[in-house]
Amino acid sequence: MRNNHEIDYFIKGEEMQLVEIELDPQETAIAEAGSFMYMDEGIQMETIFGDGSQQQQGFMGKLFSAGKRLLTGESLFMTAYTHTGIGKARVAFASPYPGKIIPIDLQQYNGKLICQKDSFLCAAKGVSVGIEFQRKLGTGLFGGEGFIMQKLEGDGMAFCHAGGHVMSRKLNPGEVLRVDTGCVVAYSSEIDYDIQFVGGIKNTLFGGEGVFFATLRGPGEVWLQSLPISRLASRILSYGTTQRKEEGSILGGLGNLLDGDGR
């Protein structure tokens, strides 16, 4: 028996995916602002504080719960989509950039999942969307994108979005995986997350991959993305505003011509 609303879903598309959620009468899905794509007649939209999971709290409790979301860069408000008609109705939410949508049944992960602060897309009503601070000093100082994470709690379905190709990996007890901090999408609550310094002066100065890794120690499951949005944005910015850093002016111009940029 679930406490959260039980929803059926269909993921469509390849590189620019959407998730279509099928609602029975009085069932509700919640989503971040800006992810809505379309919905059937009979579904009503309502703006709510936070995620709608703390209905028994007073106004200040709801405000505090919603305010914590500001630390992850999200809005104070979310949108609830409730099917008020008869039969079944569908509402769809689209991914914000090329990648994959990951469906996660929180009931299978002890009711808790940690994910990157910009990866949450939508969920069944009752799923709590909060924040998770990394407790270790090294993680806090050097974690970058992994310092403040989102915490999804409940026993319903939640949907996260990631860039590029997405893979999951199950770690055995004591097994360690070292990952670029931006490539970590989500991990189960049993995973021990920390930051490790990349030793060696040549690695630090010339490695080009940053000087810190995220270390994930099992047991548990990890989801990884091949193209973090921050990496994509920095590459686009560097190509649009500066010369190629690895080429001189003559070779740089030739490289631009070969790429189809004749400026």
Give the chain's residues under pLDDT 50: 55-56, 67, 137-146, 245-251, 254-255, 257-260, 262-263
Q: What is the pLDDT of residue 78?
A: 83
Q: What is the pLDDT of residue 175?
A: 97
Write down the pTM of the prediction. Answer: 0.77
Residues 256 and 199 occupy one common structural domain: no
Residues 49 and 28 occupy one common structural domain: yes
Q: d(Cα 27, Cα 50) in Å, to the nearest integer?
A: 18
Residues 187 and 256 occupy one common structural domain: no
**pLDDT tens digits, one per residue of 30-66:** 998 889 999 999 999 998 866 556 544 555 555 555 5
Tell me if 3 is assigned to some domain.
no
Domain count across the chain: 2
Residues 174 and 95 occupy one common structural domain: yes
Q: What is the pLDDT of residue 134?
A: 60
Q: What is the pLDDT of residue 108?
A: 94
Tell me if 111 is assigned to some domain.
yes
Residues 105 and 149 occupy one common structural domain: yes
Q: What is the pLDDT of residue 157?
A: 94
Residues 219 and 239 occupy one common structural domain: no
Tell me if 2 is assigned to some domain.
no
Domain that holds residue 259: 233-263
Residues 29 and 77 occupy one common structural domain: yes
Q: What is the pLDDT of residue 140?
A: 44
Tell me if 1 is assigned to some domain.
no
Tell me if 146 is assigned to some domain.
yes
For position 55, which CATH number holds?
Answer: 3.60.160.10
Residues 220 and 249 occupy one common structural domain: no
Tell me if 183 is assigned to some domain.
yes
Q: What is the pLDDT of residue 1?
A: 67
Residues 216 and 154 occupy one common structural domain: yes
Residues 17 and 64 occupy one common structural domain: yes
Tell me if 38 is assigned to some domain.
yes
Residues 85 and 191 occupy one common structural domain: yes
Residues 188 and 86 occupy one common structural domain: yes
Tell me if 129 is assigned to some domain.
yes
